[in-house]
Amino acid sequence: MNDAGDIAAGVPAPAEPSYAHGTGSTPLLGETVGRNLDRSIAAHPDRDALVDVSSGRRWTYAGFGAAVGELARGLAASGVCKGDRVGIWALNCPEWVMVQYATARLGAIMVNINPAYRLHELEFVLNQAGVRLLIASTEHRGSDYRAMAAEVRGACPGLRQVVHIGDPSWDALVAAGADLDDGFLARAEAGLSCDEPVNIQYTSGTTGFPKGATLSHHNILNNGYFVGDTVGYTEQDRVCLPVPFYHCFGMVMGNLGATSHGSCIVIPAPSFDPAATLRAVQQERCTSLYGVPTMFIAELGLPDFASYDLTSLRTGIMAGSPCPVEVMKRVMSEMHMAEVSICYGMTETSPVSTQTRRDDDLEHRTETVGRVLPHIEVKVVDPVEGITVPRGTAGELCTRGYSVMLGYWDEPERTAEAVDAGRWMHTGDLAVMRDDGYLAVVGRIKDMIIRGGENVYPREIEEFLYTHPKVSDVQVVGVPDERYGEEILACVIPRDPADPPTLEEIAAFCAGRLAHFKVPRHLRILDAFPMTVSGKVRKVELRDGFSPAG
């Protein structure tokens, strides 16, 4: 039968595919990070650019630009050239931000190093990226960065210089470029392309050594700009950043999102402190606050939470892991963040691919990770066949566009495993695209539990268990089981440590409300979850630490 006959016979039209392309009236920025900063300096020279609450230091855009230029000339005088790698191994501080923009002005490539790294991890990154100059903290909470850097230096032949923030070596670095003329940086920047690499970020894999996602000016400047644009940033905004700068959340969505709109960066503390964060919001009248869900949970859980004046807040970004619905509701009401946005992405995509919008209703803000950003494509495919699935069907989320990394540093084979021939980045996340184009992430492919042939998505069970009166926080993982292949383990942090829920109480709570194969068969009561520095729960450790006996 021909097509006309099929239609006449009432054959339903094919289901809409899980594909979306972000359109928008604002064009991509075709400039380097340094050029973009120049625009903000020229437009807002006297407005605050950077405030460090713990030290009391602050810079206007004109002052920040001068400090960045001074550091860039110092780096150049120390032998740093275009394409050289400069490592930054430090807690959140103004100098971190200055290194970010100073290296960009020179065309050097900043290598973000996780402050939690210890000797073998530090040595690997320094050698794999070929870091020439390392800028590091001195110490923090018992970690002696000076001693560790000195110990590892002999094993890193390419490392020519180590500078520590806050001691004479930093002052000497800044002063080194005093003899370079005022036109030096302009000439250096004239030789840069926005498509050249500017940043390497090492992804924290659960197996093997981390991979260095290599990002260009074009990647991260545009992503920061469009994330900020989506939440409506202007020069009036003041953005509180308790999230780590070494990750895209801090340095792209935060720093670049702010400076590309003339907004102010507010650093509440060197590392996350819930009370310091709320004090910073109150003192600096911040309009935006960032965090992963566990950070917001900690802030809301402060005994004196109600005493902080947070009425200046209007927006913010929550990302990094799924947000419990009840937490989101409290953030919007009790923290005055009515326009809070959920972002989804990964380091390899600069990072954000989807985001909720300012006028989205509560359901979209709590049940989805938003819709695709301008100039980006997303699709959901069958993880085995690679075919785009119909909307409403779970599959692997893929993304394509300006935001996809240049590749993993010096690892073409691993790059090819992640980015296919069509330039689609395979995220490893399981997602469902709804009819309206919004996406719900239902888990990681590796986290999906297959119990007796049934696919179980931990996020669904976690959202349900958050509503249990005795549960403060919960993570669900699959653990080996002889009969079903995998069984469901619920790891719970109780609201009252003296009165934790029992497995029987959890099962009774689920009975008749969840399918029988989704009901947890094991329970662990914990004081805290194993976390990465950026606030993500390490589910692999929850699995590895489990035994049926508890």
Supply the mean pLDDT for the chain. 93
Strand 139-140 to 288-291 pairing: unpaired
Task: Provide the 3-class DSSP secondary structure of residue 166.
Answer: coil
Confidence band, pLDDT 50/70/90 cuts, at residue 7: very low
User: Is 207's pLDDT higher than 50?
Assistant: no
Q: What are the start and end residues of each CATH 3.30.300.30 domain in the chain? A: 454-544
> What digits encode the pLDDT tens for the residues 340-359?
999 999 999 999 999 999 99
> What digits encode the pLDDT tens for the residues 29-55?
999 999 999 999 999 999 999 999 999
| Share of residues in the chain with pLDDT > 70 (%) | 96
Of 289-293, 398-402, 438-442, the range with the highest mean pLDDT is 398-402
Q: What's the mean pLDDT in 218-227?
A: 98
Task: Provide the 3-class DSSP secondary structure of residue 280.
Answer: helix
User: Is 71's pLDDT higher than 90?
Assistant: yes
Question: Class for domain 31-47+59-193, per CATH?
Answer: alpha beta
User: Is 206's pLDDT higher than 50?
Assistant: no
Q: Please check whether residue 268 is in contact with residue 240, taking contact to mean a CB–CB distance below 8 angstroms.
A: yes
- What's the confidence (pLDDT) of residue 194? 98
The DSSP element (H or E) to which 51 belongs, if any, is: strand 48-52
- What's the confidence (pLDDT) of residue 132? 98
- What's the confidence (pLDDT) of residue 535? 66
User: Is 435's pLDDT higher than 90?
Assistant: yes
- What's the confidence (pLDDT) of residue 326? 85
Strand 211-216 to 197-203 pairing: antiparallel
Contacts of 378 (CB under 8 A, 6+ apart): 19, 20, 353, 354, 372, 397, 398, 399, 400, 433, 439
- What's the confidence (pLDDT) of residue 454? 81
- What's the confidence (pLDDT) of residue 381? 97
User: Is 430's pLDDT higher than 50?
Assistant: yes
Level-2 CATH architecture, domain 454-544: 2-Layer Sandwich (3.30)
Q: And the tokens for 363?
A: 């359901």
Q: What are the start and end residues of each CATH 3.40.50.980 domain in the chain? A: 31-47+59-193
User: Is 275's pLDDT higher than 90?
Assistant: yes
- What's the confidence (pLDDT) of residue 205? 52
Would you give the DSSP letter of residue 482?
A: T
User: Is 455's pLDDT higher than 80?
Assistant: no
Distance from C-alpha of 203 to C-alpha of 210, rounded to nearest angstrom: 5
- What's the confidence (pLDDT) of residue 517? 87
User: Is 3's pLDDT higher than 60?
Assistant: no
> What digits encode the pLDDT tens for the residues 519-534?
999 999 999 999 875 5
> What digits encode the pLDDT tens for the residues 487-506?
999 999 999 999 999 999 99
Q: How many CB atoms lie within 10 A of CB 56?
A: 7
| Share of residues in the chain with pLDDT > 90 (%) | 79
For 44, list phi and psi in degrees, rounded to 5: -135, 55
Q: Nearest to residue 194, comparing CAs of 225, 149, 170, 168?
A: 225
